[in-house]
Structure 1
Amino acid sequence: MGNANLNIHFEISFTEPKAHYVDVTMTIRELNTDNLELIMPVWTPGSYLIREFSKNIEAFKVISEGKTVPHKKLRKNSWFINTKNFAAVTVMYRVYAFEVSVRTSFVDASHAFLSPAGIFLYPDGMLNLPSTIRIVPCNNWKTVSTGLESVNNDPCFFYAPNFDTLYDSPFEVGNQHVFSFTAAGVLHEVAMYGGGMYEEEKLITDFTRIIEEETRIFGENPNMHFVFIIHNFNNGGGGLEHCNSTVLGVSRTAYAAEKTYQDFLGLVSHEYFHLWNVKRLRPEALGPFDYQQENYTTSLWIAEGFTAYYDNLVLRRAGLISPENYFKLLSADINNLENVPGRKIQTITEASFDTWIKFYRPNENTPNTTVSYYIKGSLIALCIDLLIIHQSNTAYSLDEVMKRMYKQFYKTENRGYTEAEFRIALEEVAGCTLNHIYEHYINGVEELDYNHYLGYAGMRLRVCPPENKPLPTTGFTAALTAGKLIVTQVGRDTAAWLAGISVNDELLAINGNRIADLEKALQFQLPGDTIDITLIRDGRLLQIPLTLENQHKIKYQVEEINEPSVTQIAVRNKWINL
């Protein structure tokens, strides 16, 4: 193809950061074609939702030798350029960047965070082409942080060997606080935006423990240089993995309290584990990517669920949390799964496949119809891990599967795995079939037999006794909105579900008494009592009888059994590194 030798250079500047704009100039040289089609991705890897990044582009124009070059928008994210008789063209456009998240770009007077899939266009069919990127900071900005390698040690000039690498390399531009350390033989840079109550040396120590434990699992660290971009907000959360970096959101005060700091370290552990699991060891659908449409897989329960299993387990193995705290976190995951009605409706393979239309677009009925492939996937990983440790007499664990898969499919074959191939590896290491787990828990919706697997480690799942006083419930939740008490969610098969209460109903009274607080209105009621609810629906006054029931929520706790055997203790020691 005549375009194979295109020379592509981007210049990124910020003439109006207060108005949240990124100015992009894309220069394409060595043209040898009559036309060129430029594409904007519709999604960003790691966040499985069509986000329509092209909606933020404006002022698109093309020039060459001082003259305007004809172009036409073909589709929502595609621009066709007539390049006949031109050796080079310059494409200029602006991107509106004002969405705070780890996966979308944001610019204001204090900094710029660039999520590349929503910033950079690529020539159709030429994702393999290299490019250079010049960042032109605002006058008062001094630092650029990214996982890309610089050109000639220029702190604002970078090289991407292909567009997959470019789209996987976010930029933080501003006056972020930067510090560095070496762990597992790799130089790590931490770019802190927004302040925060952190202690630099403590972060270095704790990050190092996480990094070295996860590197031990896989046997090598695939990077020479890695960047943590951390956004500190009044309220923040979330993370997104990249091959050479990660972006984390956290509350500025999270570092000051044990529980919130532990949660933050769990996030660090989760996103760093993705260096191997997802970014390199990956389902076959997750690379090479099609940036113009959904990339479907039924294996996110492995890609995300197994990562969610390891995030807290790594903290325990690294000595960052106690066994007691680890079991509390495990109990919380079980509670989260077992109290969601959707676990009986959707399998985790279905949840993985439908993430594009469901996981990132939750609504009031989501808990009734869906299951988290993060949480259930992590608990299936737990069961398989304990099974492997038991079956192998503590010779192996799930670590062995992850290491073998990484070596075979990333290091040796350099391709994604199929779900069948992952199952083969699990069964080979376990030394037994996983028919029951796959049929009933992965491709089915049966309840996990926690005690069977926890029993291998001398542990059990206990149902905590209910409160002394019976607690009545309606089966719906409500919140004050503009002074009105509005129904926000109705639980599947609850009293409210059966009575016909609907989301968006405005609650006026119970038993003829005006209410503003649902819990207070029910404080003298008992399960089995029938109440009359007066509400407004679409401007009409309705009265609905509802019979209260007992609280459905069950609380579980993972705990040690009495007098575990030597074998059970050995399994537990292998599992959580005692």
Structure 2
Amino acid sequence: MRLQVLYIFILSVFITSFSYAQSYILYDISFNNAMQHEAEVKVSFTKIKKGTFSFRMSRSSPGRYAIHEFAKNVYNVKATDSKGNELLLTRPNPYAWEVAKHDGTVNVTYTLFANRGDGTYAQIDETHAHLNIPATFMYAPSLKDTPIQITFNPRKDWKIATQLKKMFNNTYYAPNLQYFMDSPTELSNHFVRSFEVESSGETYKINLALHTIGTEAEADAYFEKVKKIVLQQKAVFGELPKFDFGEYTFLACYIPNTSGDGMEHRNSTILTSTRTLANGGMTRNIGTVSHEFFHAWNVERIRPKSLEPFNFEKANMSGELWFAEGFTSYYTNLILTRAGLMSPENYINSLNGTFNYVWNSTGRSFFNPIEMSYQAPFVDAATSVDPVNRGNTFISYYSYGSVLGLALDLALRNEKGNLSLDGYMQLVWNTYGKNEKPYTIDNLHKTLNKYAGKLFGDYFFNHFIYKSAMPNYEPLFKNMGIVLKRDSKNVYFGVSTSSDGLVRTNAQIGTPAYKAGLNVGDKIVAIDQHVVSATNSVSKVLSNYKIGATITIQFSRYNQLRTAKVTLIKDPRYTIQSFEKAGLEITPEIEKNRKAWLGEK
């Protein structure tokens, strides 16, 4: 504790003295027109070298891999020199501004419009200023290593929550552009809860800044859950990360005007949901807490080399997201179970959706997990106006990596006795995360070889990472008292429709709907003699047929009636359930295995 206090004191003295020795980039933001979602921003760039000076808005944001074009939301851009003389601005591209002549200082002012509260964008209104930094502030690429000082001018009753280091009053500090861009900030009348955690001889302060419509008691109850998650995740890696400035902050906005999201950052995370704690959020929001805090290790410090440094001027592609996001997704509910926030029975049931989505997807015939990860710039909160065929060609790297993490964990436990995914993650942490040495896929492969043996590691990577085969889950589940079966008596059609027969998704390759030639926008009128309607849906009609039945489909396309004859197939989905639910005996060995896997650490 004394060392931590001494560290903070020395750092504070350093920052104070540093302000006199070296210039900052100075930012100032105010919210006088918050009702109309506007902020007024000022930034002062000084000690600029002679020649054309360029500043810009980011096109991407840490933790997101797609392009988001934040420049679209700034206007009234003006610039002056140190004497207040107006400078001529030119636009070399849609994202940047340039000043050809200046006196070494360029002072910029602009208006920001912001009305999406999530992990990517910013939102300003009378309730809060929810600021994702790349969506809010201009920057100068040539000054990326210059320290930053930012002053927030909050509205009445607003507090400031951020991973930025407080200097004085409402002024905060970032050592460079990368840290600044990675530091979301919430200004609102929020609850604040904190507790201290000892780790590797240091004491860290874990904060919850909770902006919601609720009570002190609800905030207390929710924070107790957060604390359990923090401690169980610490147990996975054996220690907390070395949080800069000794703190980590959950920035939670659970209010009706936000959009559901979660976004990891180095010493904080954004958590947004329209659900308040009293309106389902107490249980339904907590999963995002688990997912995002795990990222404090996996992706923030156990960092893919492909994402270093993060590029704010283009999309960021990585082949490691099956591990960075997918393995994190595997641990999301596992940690909730170990923390006592989800029952083992509910955890086992929760495996069904993700498992079937990955196992039955035709996407694996197109891309392996690495190649799926490459798709992130097209799918990670990305937008497109043209139709795509993602339903057939893409599997979320979150889900793909999650089921592979499950298989690896169970295989290590079943085949290697005292090994587990926890142990592998600790080795990856100690090798690449603790010293913040960016890793490659080959590094992950070699680390698994070191942990579990070359034969085991090579088999896993050669079959399931470099290729798109799927592990044999049945024996892995059996040792944990879980039944995996595929004995549905239901038929499978292969497309999603509205209640009145309108086709809403691309037909899945190889299914009856695909063979019938159905497309999005077609409307199924009848199946044999059965007319489809809002009260007699496609699924209701098909429930009367048996596997192998041949049916005639009538559907409308471009105002023309068409017909197709197809044979119905068996529902390919698996059922995952506990031995208890299946009426099977739980042996002492199974109890031991389950406790080691799902029990509190």
TM-score, structure 2 normalization = 0.85
Partner of 2:462: 439
**Residue aligned with 2:496, SS:** strand
**Residue aligned with 2:250, SS:** strand
Partner of 2:497: 478
Change (3 A) 1:342 1:147: same
Change (3 A) 1:573 1:110: closer
Q: Does the Cα contact within 8 Å between 2:369 and 2:401 map onto a contact in 1?
A: yes
Tell me the amino acid that sits aligned with residue 563 of structure 2.
I
Within a 5 Å distance, the mapping from 1:115-154 to structure 2 comes to 115-138=132-155, 140-152=156-168, 154=169
1:318-364 CA-partner distances (Å, limit 9, x unpaired):
23333222222234432332243324432111111121124544866
Alignment: residue pair count: 559
Change (3 A) 1:15 1:83: farther
Within a 5 Å distance, the mapping from 1:277-356 to structure 2 comes to 277-356=298-377
1:356-408 CA-partner distances (Å, limit 9, x unpaired):
124544866322111121122122222222333345531x4222322232233
Q: Does the Cα contact within 8 Å between 2:52 and 2:101 map onto a contact in 1?
A: yes
Give the alignment partner of residue 51 of structure 2, picking from 4, 9, 34: 34
Question: Where does the alignment leave 5 or more consecutive residues of structure 2 unmatched?
Answer: 1-20
Q: Does the Cα contact within 8 Å between 1:218 and 1:403 map onto a contact in 2?
A: yes
Matched, 1:181 2:195: yes
Deviation at 1:23, TM superposition (A): 1.7
Q: Distance in 2 between matches of 1:360 and 1:475?
A: 26
Partner of 1:559: 578
Q: Does the Cα contact within 8 Å between 1:196 and 1:252 map onto a contact in 2?
A: no
Change (3 A) 1:563 1:176: closer
**Residue aligned with 1:357, SS:** helix
Tell me the amino acid that sits aligned with residue 338 of structure 1.
W
Give the alignment partner of residue 67 of structure 1, picking from 76, 85, 110: 85
Partner of 1:161: 175
Q: Distance in 2 between matches of 1:559 and 1:218?
A: 28
**Residue aligned with 1:193, SS:** strand
Q: Distance in 1 between matches of 2:548 and 2:554?
A: 19
Quick one: percent identity of the two aligned structures?
Answer: 28
Within a 5 Å distance, the mapping from 1:328-477 to structure 2 comes to 328-361=349-382, 365-394=389-418, 396-412=419-435, 414-433=436-455, 434-455=457-478, 457-463=479-485, 465-466=487-488, 471-477=490-496
Partner of 1:219: 238
Tell me the amino acid that sits aligned with residue 596 of structure 2.
K
Q: Does the Cα contact within 8 Å between 2:495 and 2:503 map onto a contact in 1?
A: no
Partner of 1:576: 598
Deviation at 1:525, TM superposition (A): 5.0
Within a 5 Å distance, the mapping from 1:497-512 to structure 2 comes to 497-510=514-527
Q: Distance in 2 between matches of 1:263 and 1:309?
A: 17
Partner of 1:80: 98
Within a 5 Å distance, the mapping from 1:165-244 to structure 2 comes to 165-184=179-198, 185-196=203-214, 199-221=218-240, 222-223=242-243, 224-234=246-256, 237-244=260-267
Give the alignment partner of residue 273 of structure 2, picking from 247, 250, 257: 250
Q: Distance in 1 between matches of 2:322 and 2:183?
A: 25
Q: Does the Cα contact within 8 Å between 1:383 and 1:454 map onto a contact in 2?
A: no
1:265-312 CA-partner distances (Å, limit 9, x unpaired):
222111001001101111111222121123322111110111111122
Tell me the amino acid that sits aligned with residue 82 of structure 1.
A
Deviation at 1:427, TM superposition (A): 1.7
Change (3 A) 1:534 1:393: closer
Q: Does the Cα contact within 8 Å between 1:213 and 1:317 map onto a contact in 2?
A: yes
Q: Distance in 1 between matches of 2:501 and 2:598?
A: 49
Q: Does the Cα contact within 8 Å between 1:37 and 1:78 map onto a contact in 2?
A: yes
Tell me the amino acid that sits aligned with residue 395 of structure 2.
V
Q: Does the Cα contact within 8 Å between 1:335 and 1:555 map onto a contact in 2?
A: yes
Deviation at 1:261, TM superposition (A): 4.3
Deviation at 1:60, TM superposition (A): 1.4
Q: Does the Cα contact within 8 Å between 2:60 and 2:311 map onto a contact in 1?
A: no
What's the Cα RMSD here? 2.8
Q: Distance in 1 between matches of 2:335 and 2:545?
A: 46
Tell me the amino acid that sits aligned with residue 500 of structure 1.
G
Question: Where does the alignment leave 5 or more consecutive residues of structure 1 unmatched?
Answer: none
Q: Does the Cα contact within 8 Å between 1:213 and 1:318 map onto a contact in 2?
A: yes
Does 287-296 or 176-185 show the bigger shift? 176-185
Change (3 A) 1:255 1:454: farther
1:387-434 CA-partner distances (Å, limit 9, x unpaired):
33345531x42223222322332433x320111111111121113422
Change (3 A) 1:252 1:405: same
Deviation at 1:105, TM superposition (A): 0.8
Q: Does the Cα contact within 8 Å between 1:232 and 1:252 map onto a contact in 2?
A: yes
Deviation at 1:557, TM superposition (A): 1.1
Deviation at 1:240, TM superposition (A): 0.5
Change (3 A) 1:445 1:545: same
Q: Does the Cα contact within 8 Å between 1:196 and 1:251 map onto a contact in 2?
A: no
Change (3 A) 1:367 1:488: closer
Q: Distance in 2 between matches of 1:388 and 1:429?
A: 10
Tell me the amino acid that sits aligned with residue 142 of structure 1.
W
Deviation at 1:51, TM superposition (A): 0.8
TM-score, structure 1 normalization = 0.88
Q: Distance in 2 between matches of 1:231 and 1:289?
A: 26
Deviation at 1:531, TM superposition (A): 5.0
**Residue aligned with 1:427, SS:** helix
1:163-198 CA-partner distances (Å, limit 9, x unpaired):
111111111122223333334442233222231577
Tell me the amino acid that sits aligned with residue 95 of structure 2.
N
Does 45-54 or 181-190 show the bigger shift? 181-190
**Which structure has more strand as a fraction of its residues?**
1
Q: Does the Cα contact within 8 Å between 2:163 and 2:267 map onto a contact in 1?
A: yes
**Residue aligned with 1:380, SS:** helix
Q: Distance in 1 between matches of 2:352 and 2:532?
A: 39
Tell me the amino acid that sits aligned with residue 250 of structure 1.
S
